[in-house]
Structure 1
Amino acid sequence: MSVDDLKQPSQQQRTGPLRIAVLVSGNGSNLQVLIDAIQAGALPIEVVGVISNRDDAYAITRAQQAHIPVAVLSHTDSGKRMGIKTFETHASAQLVAWQPDLIILAGFMRVLSAAFINNSTATMINLHPALLPAYKGLNTHQRVIQAGERYHGCSIHVVTAELDAGQVLTQALLNVNPKDTADRLQTQVQSMEHQLLPWTVLLLAKGILPLNTNKISAEAKSYLPTLPLRLFLES
């Protein structure tokens, strides 16, 4: 069965590609996955802009090489590092200008305020390196090993004011080997993220997953599978 076969017949067809803005802080490998998929014709999306809170993030170079607009919001004109309120003011204005349909936090390493999230121009989703709702926060790989978990993975969830607590849309799972280290799990999970993100974005672009999970009709709830959708990958 193809993605198109799963689409609700009553859903309105999108007239253009899904417009996406991406917030980054580092290497930007997940941004690159999206760029590669667009260039291959595999995703009906357009990355309308990238916002980085670090001026040394390699993600900036990836975006520039793909001719994607970039806003670097790391320091003020005086050279002082931007506080979160200043960052959010500039980021909000930039997002209003770009008018994305979806905002992706891809390795974005600042905690956003409730006001910024609640007043966002579009739904925000985030990649988290654990099987939510378990292991919210940091150091997930080491915590999974210390707890003796059999399974690990990553989740894509809607961003809310409560940390890592929004609706989980999709997850990718792997088996934890007793000999695994935190570094090895980190490498495995990052590889899984590179598969989970484009898969999830495709489901959103095709309308299989709703862009606003808080406004799903009763008819849609009876049609849609229980979230999260899960991608099982061999370790």
Structure 2
Amino acid sequence: MSDHASKNIVVLISGQGSNMQAIVRAARDRQWGRRWGARLAGVVSNRPEAAGLAWAQAEGLPTVALDHRAYASREAFDAALIQAIDGLCPPGPFLVVLAGFMRILTPGFVEHYAGRLINIHPSLLPAFPGLHTHERALQAGCRFAGATVHRVTAELDHGEYLDQVVVPVMPDDSADTLAARVLTQEHLMYPRVIERLLAAG
């Protein structure tokens, strides 16, 4: 993976893809291609109606929409997803970046991209894996919240932590206001982690 030409990045989204947008902007503004030979090879979504796909297309990025509802099983969808990702950048990507991709991935998929698959989760793991992280942080009376970038393993939200960011919880926070404050920090942290991986690559 040390060859500059091999540093293709594929981003997976399910919705607006605000973290994907932050990554695309960082790649352009900080010249990832010139510095590390990195290239955003494409954006893939399991929801054809995802707003992030239209944004990526407007930026000139290749996009693939794979509707998970069209597949009989999780394994069948993940097999098609592997084909789509690897098809964007044969023989395969340097990194697969999950940016709000709301699917639990099968062990076979995770194994296929072992060491190359990263995710961002809106909590300070190991606290609050899974969904509704901000509501759960508020219900627990947490004074701090945050987000974690981690390597993906077959166990949900469990792989090696690559970075974390801490955000204070305000007395009048709702889940929405806390989520918005955490998200602004996610947009800074995720590109920073990818840059470190590219530099080390």
TM-score by length of 2: 0.88
Contact 1:50 1:68 in 2 (8 A): yes
Gaps of 5+ in 1: 1-11, 212-235
Q: Give aligned-pair identity as a percent.
A: 37
- Alignment counterpart, residue 118 of structure 2, candidates 125, 137, 142: 125
Report the Cα offset of residue 96 of structure 1. Answer: 2.5
The number of residues matched between the two structures is 193
Q: Structure 1 residue 61 and structure 2 residue 50: aligned? A: no
Gaps of 5+ in 2: none
CA distance, structure 2, for counterparts of residue 161 and residue 91 of structure 1: 16
Q: Structure 1 residue 201 and structure 2 residue 201: aligned? A: no
- Alignment counterpart, residue 29 of structure 2, candidates 40, 48, 52: 40
CA distance, structure 1, for counterparts of residue 12 and residue 4 of structure 2: 25
Query: Highest CA radius of gyration, 1 or 2?
Result: 1
Match of 2:18 in 1: 29
Report the Cα offset of residue 17 of structure 1. Answer: 7.3
Contact 1:96 1:121 in 2 (8 A): no
Report the Cα offset of residue 160 of structure 1. Answer: 0.5
Structure number with higher helix proportion: 2
1:46-195 map, 5 Å: 46-74=39-67, 81-82=70-71, 83-97=73-87, 98=89, 99-120=92-113, 123-195=116-188
CA distance, structure 2, for counterparts of residue 167 and residue 121 of structure 1: 12
CA offsets per residue over residues 102-128 of structure 1, 9 Å max, x none?
000100001111111112276110010
CA RMSD of aligned residues (A): 1.9
CA distance, structure 2, for counterparts of residue 122 and residue 65 of structure 1: 30
CA distance, structure 2, for counterparts of residue 38 and residue 172 of structure 1: 21
CA offsets per residue over residues 157-176 of structure 1, 9 Å max, x none?
00110000100110111111
- Match of 1:206, SS state, is helix
TM-score by length of 1: 0.76
Report the Cα offset of residue 14 of structure 1. Answer: 5.2
Contact 1:43 1:198 in 2 (8 A): no
CA offsets per residue over residues 135-186 of structure 1, 9 Å max, x none?
1111110111111111110000001100001001101111111221111111
